[in-house]
Each structure stands twice: as C-alpha cells, then as structure tokens.
Amino acid sequence: MSRTVAYWGSTVIASVMLCMSVSYLTGSEQVVEGFARAGYPQHLRIVLGALKPAAGIALLVPGFVLLKEWAYAGVTFAWMMAFISAYTSGEPPQVWAFPLVLLLLLAVSYATRPSHRRLGAAARPATTSDTRGAPAR
C-alpha cells in the first residue's frame, strides 16, 4: 500500500509541475526574461513548453510503457540541466534546489512504479510455472 501511495503521490506532483510548464508558451515577460537571463534561446522555451506537459501526461495515462520511459529520461535531463544552469549562474539555493527536489520526486516515481508500468514487464511474454525452464518443442 505504501509503495502505491509513494508512486502516485510522487508521480502526480511531478506531472503537475511538468504541466505547469505550459506557461512557457504564454510569452510572458517573466518567462522570456528568465530564459534570456539563463542564456537560452527563446525557441527552447517553446519546445519545453510543449514537451514537458506532454511528458507529465504520459506519466499519468495507462499504457504507453515505452513512452513513459522516454518521458522519465527526458524529464531527468531537463531537470538536471535546470539545476546545473541555476547553480552555475549564481542563483540562490532556493532556486537551484527546486529542480533537485523535483528530481527526487521523479526518482521515487520511477523506483516505485508498478510492474505493468515497467518496460521489461511489458516486453516479456507471460509464462506459467509449468513452462518455465522447459525445452522448446
């Protein structure tokens, strides 16, 4: 039960944070200025504004196990780079620590996900105890 709570709690929080990235698409002065201050091109704002919410949705919907793996990987890279960017640009700890907290939540989600949401389990055919280890005919 606690594994299920840890999975869904961390996954929902991470997904909500990812879906909030849709604000990158608004072109608000604060968002544009933040990307410029970090030295990022504005087209990255558009790409992240579309792909981060898509990843958040992919983590929540049933099925699409391979897509979930890609979402976990992409979000990991995005939040690692957000930490590195904020840390190396001299942002205060409350700014650069936030991506680390989100990474921790993502790691909990990844580690506690149910077997039917894991790539290996989806790729393996189901076996029964009487056919395990038996030679092929």
Question: For 31-45, how does the pLDDT look when each residue is reduced to its tens digit (9 = 90+)?
Answer: 999 899 888 999 999
Residue 89 structure tokens? 């640009």
State the angle between helix axes of 42-60 and 65-88 in degrees (0 to 180), rounded to the nearest 10. Answer: 140
User: What torsion, rounded to 10 degrees, do the Cα atoms 11, 79, 54, 116 define?
Assistant: -40
- How many residues can be counted in the chain? 137
Provide the pLDDT for residue 45. Answer: 95
45-59, pLDDT tens digit by residue?
Answer: 999 999 999 999 999
Rounded CA-CA distance 6/91 in Å is 30
| pLDDT (average), residues 107-126 | 79
User: Is residue 77's pLDDT more than 50?
Assistant: yes
Confidence band (pLDDT; 50, 70, 90) for 119? confident
